[in-house]
Chains A and B, each alone.
Chain A
Amino acid sequence: MSNLSDLEIYELYKIDKDKSFNLLVSKYQEKLYWHIRKIVITHHNADDVLQNTFLKVWKAFPNFKNESSLYTWLYRIATNEALTFLKSDKTKNNISYSNTETKVINLLESDVYFEGNDFEKKFQQALSTLPEKQKLVFNMKYFDEMKYEQISEILKTSVGGLKASYHHAVNKIKDYLNNN
Chain B
Amino acid sequence: MEQFKNIKDNSGFKVPENYFNEFPKKIEEIIANVKPDKPKKLQLKAYYSIAAVFVSIIVVATVLIKNYTKEPTQLENQTLAYLECNIYDVSDEILYDVTIESESLETKTNNNIELDVLAEEITEEEIIYNYNN
**A-contacting residues, B1-37, CB 8 Å:** 1, 3-4, 6-8, 10-16, 19-20, 23-24, 26-28, 30-31, 34, 37
A115 interface residue per 8 A CB criterion: yes
Give Cα A74 to B24, complex, Å: 16
Q: Are B24 and A123 in contact (CB under 8 A)?
A: no
Partner of B12 from A29, A33, A115, A143 at Cβ < 8 Å:
A115
Give Cα A22 to B7, complex, Å: 32
Q: Mark A47-62, 1 if CB is under 8 A from B, else 0.
A: 1001100110011000
Q: Are B27 and A25 in contact (CB under 8 A)?
A: yes
Give Cα A170 to B20, complex, Å: 31
A116 interface residue per 8 A CB criterion: yes
Q: Are B30 and A55 in contact (CB under 8 A)?
A: yes
A142 interface residue per 8 A CB criterion: yes
Give Cα A91 to B65, complex, Å: 68
Q: Are B34 and A55 in contact (CB under 8 A)?
A: yes
Partner of B23 from A50, A115, A143 at Cβ < 8 Å:
A50
A58 — nearest CB in chain B belongs to which residue?
Answer: B31
Number of A residues near B (Cβ < 8 Å) is 35
Known: A55-B31, A59-B37, A177-B3. A121 touches B12 (CB 8 A): yes
Could you tell me the dominant secondary structure of chain B's interface residues? helix
Known: A50-B23, A55-B30. A120 touches B16 (CB 8 A): no
Q: Are A37 and B13 in contact (CB under 8 A)?
A: yes
Give Cα A121 to B12, complex, Å: 8
Known: A25-B23, A55-B30, A58-B31. A123 touches B11 (CB 8 A): yes
Within the complex, what minimum Cβ distance (angstroms) separates A123 from chain B? 5
**B-contacting residues, A133-180, CB 8 Å:** 142-143, 170, 173, 177
Q: Are B15 and A120 in contact (CB under 8 A)?
A: no
Q: Which residues of B contact A119 (CB under 8 A)?
A: 6-7
Q: Are A116 and B27 in contact (CB under 8 A)?
A: no
Q: Which B positions have Cβ atoms within 8 angstroms of A? A: 1, 3-4, 6-8, 10-16, 19-20, 23-24, 26-28, 30-31, 34, 37
Report, nearest first, the 5 A-B pairs whose CB atoms are least far apart. Answer: A116-B12, A120-B12, A113-B14, A25-B24, A54-B27
14 interchain pairs (CB within 8 A)?
A26-B24, A29-B23, A29-B24, A33-B20, A54-B31, A58-B34, A114-B13, A115-B12, A115-B14, A116-B12, A120-B12, A142-B8, A143-B8, A173-B4
